[in-house]
Amino acid sequence: MNPDETLTLALSKGRIFDETLPLLRAAGIEVLEDPQTSRRLILPTNRPGVRVVLVRATDVPTYVEHGGADLGVCGKDTLIEHAAAWGGAHVGLLEPLDLGIARCRMSVAVPADFDYARAVRQGARLRVATKYVAIAREFFASKGVHVDLIKLYGSMELAPLTGLADAIVDLVSTGNTLKANRLVEVERIMDISSRLVVRPTALKVKGGLIRPLLQAFAAAVRADAD
Ligand code: AMP
């Protein structure tokens, strides 16, 4: 098959994969293998030439930007952190559509007995643990709050409970994880949802394949919002 007639979509397993499936279905695309039961990382679809690759959420922008995939789905948080990691001068991706899936918010949380408002008022220097250092840095800088950022790769909730940090910046969906760890949300930094990202050259070369997909996705997102 001519490579210009193939399309590779990068997705991460879990919520993004699950919530992208109905959008693909609306575009007439059925993924033929279930990542829960299959160990394959390249999943065929009912459309010859269209395939899904499973990558880590944080790798989706890299795959799309460098040609491992033509398009992908990832959270706005991932896109912001990816751009910041490359000096903020990142222009290698188009973000044509907010898919409105995997919705959550980026928040600051502290132990229930920590007086965050007072610490901020008094100009205290806060130790903040997070995976999202660019978002946290920008947020606290905009508030004029001095912070020492501590980069973690997971289980942020543990940091204040062990004395590693005063606060965390993390994604919150239901709030159950915070509650289970006796943390309270004290700031809502931004709402997050997943976006479709496309490599500009892919759109140029494979526009005939990508544009109808974009239109079907957009229509499905609109229908879902109504
Ligand atoms: P919850 O307990 O529902 O508030 O979910 C919070 C946990 O799930 C945290 O560990 C978050 O990092 C993670 N989380 C929530 N929503 C998302 C999302 N849309 N994408 C990735 N991780 C998420």
% of the chain exceeding 70 in pLDDT: 98
Q: Is residue 1 part of a domain?
A: no
Q: Are residues 99 and 198 in the same domain?
A: yes
Q: Are residues 20 and 56 in the same domain?
A: yes
Q: Is residue 2 part of a domain?
A: no
193: Cβ below 6 Å to ligand 1? Answer: no
CATH number at residue 145: 3.40.190.10
37: Cβ below 6 Å to ligand 1? Answer: no
Q: What is the pTM of this model?
A: 0.95
Q: Supply the pLDDT for residue 88.
A: 67
Q: Is residue 212 part of a domain?
A: yes
pLDDT tens digit sequence for 67-122:
999 999 999 999 999 999 987 665 589 999 999 999 999 999 999 999 999 999 99
**How confident is the model over 148-175, as a mean pLDDT?**
98
Distances (CA, A) of 7 to 11, 168, 209, 216: 13, 39, 7, 15
What is the per-residue burial (b if ≥16 Cβ within 10 Å, else e) of 27-63? Answer: bebebeeebeeeeeeebebebeebbbbbbebbbbbbb
Q: Supply the pLDDT for residue 225.
A: 85
Q: Which domain holds residue 44?
A: 7-103+192-224
158: Cβ below 6 Å to ligand 1? Answer: no
pLDDT band at 2; cut points 50, 70, 90: confident
- Among 15, 173, 192, name the best residue to mutate to test ligand 1's pocket (greatest count of ligand atoms within 8 A of Cβ): 173
